[in-house]
Amino acid sequence: MEINLFNDANLVPQPRHKVKIETLSASPYRDRFRVKVNLTLTPFQERPNLLIAARRNDGTMVSDLDVIATMHFDNEFTMHIRGVDDPSGEYTLKAELYYESRDPPQDCAEISFNIPPDAD
């Protein structure tokens, strides 16, 4: 008798060498100083680490986040924009997935996002 514990074949946990970043998105909150980040990973057998960083177009780091041994393959984070008086502008969000070492990371994803000017 076979017992199927996974209803969706795409959700079967994979070995470490098959784990990658599947999706990455960023949506600014209305206050413009916070950004909702969604990151989906390949379902995994061994828990990976993540490094997520947001930079302005001039290269200035405005937010970063380390996740050690994440338990979830579908992740949602709130990142806070720091060190700027006005957060409006273009940004790059980069995520790295790694196990023991980030040199090099196992997988990377990078997207651009925009924080609009204040509507007031």
Residue 47 has pLDDT above 90, yes or no: yes
Per-residue model confidence (pLDDT) at position 87? 97
Per-residue model confidence (pLDDT) at position 23? 98
CA dihedral 33, 120, 84, 55 (to 10 degrees): 60
Which DSSP symbol is given to 117? Answer: P
Per-residue model confidence (pLDDT) at position 118? 87
- Higher local confidence (pLDDT), 52 or 10: 52
pLDDT average, residue stretch 5-18? 80
Does residue 120 belong to any structural domain of this protein?
no
Residue 9 has pLDDT above 80, yes or no: no
CATH for 82: 2.60.40.10
Does residue 48 belong to any structural domain of this protein?
yes
Cα separation, 31 vs 59, in Å, equals: 22
Per-residue model confidence (pLDDT) at position 11? 82
Domain tally, the chain: 1
Does residue 3 belong to any structural domain of this protein?
no
Give residue 22's domain range.
10-114
Mean pLDDT of the chain: 93
Does residue 105 belong to any structural domain of this protein?
yes
Does residue 4 belong to any structural domain of this protein?
no
Per-residue model confidence (pLDDT) at position 3? 54
pLDDT digits (tens, 9 = 90+) for 69-113: 999 999 999 999 999 999 999 999 999 999 999 999 999 999 999
Does residue 119 belong to any structural domain of this protein?
no
Does residue 1 belong to any structural domain of this protein?
no
Does residue 19 belong to any structural domain of this protein?
yes
Cα separation, 48 vs 69, in Å, equals: 5
